[in-house]
Amino acid sequence: MALNPHPGAPERHELPLHTPSALSLLAAGAIALIAWLAFAAQADITIGRLAARGFGVLDALERMSSYLTNLTVLVCAICFSCIALRPPTPIARFFRAPPVATAIVVYMVFVGLAYNLLLRGLWTPHGYRSLVNESLHTVLPVLCALYWLLFVPRFHLTLRQCLLWLVYPLAYVLVTMLRGALSDFYPYPFIDVLELGYARVLLNEALLVGAFIGLAALFVAINHRRPRRPLHEPHEAHERDDPARTHRQAADREPQ
Q: Render pLDDT for 124-149 as a digit per residue (tens, 0 to 9).
A: 889 999 999 999 999 999 999 999 99
Domain ranges of the chain: 22-253
Q: Which one has a higher pLDDT value, 107 or 243?
A: 107
Beta carbons within 10 angstroms of residue 169's beta carbon: 20
Q: Please tell me the number of Cα atoms within 13 Å of 33 on its side-chain side.
A: 8
Closest CA to 94 of 14, 25, 193, 207: 14
State the pTM of this model: 0.82
Q: What are phi and psi of 165, to 5 degrees?
A: -60, -25
- Angle at alpha carbon of residue 99, lines to 74 and 89, rounded to 5°: 65
Q: Which pLDDT does position 145 carry in this prediction?
A: 97
Q: Write out pLDDT tens, residues 152-199.
A: 888 888 888 899 999 999 999 999 999 999 999 999 999 999 999 999
Average pLDDT of 66-80?
97
Instruction: Kindly write down the DSSP assignment for every residue of 92-140, as one continuous string.
Output: HHHHHSHHHHHHHHHHHHHHHHHIIIIIGGG----HHHHHHHHIIIIIH
- The percentage of residues in the chain with a pLDDT greater than 70, rounded to a whole number, is 81
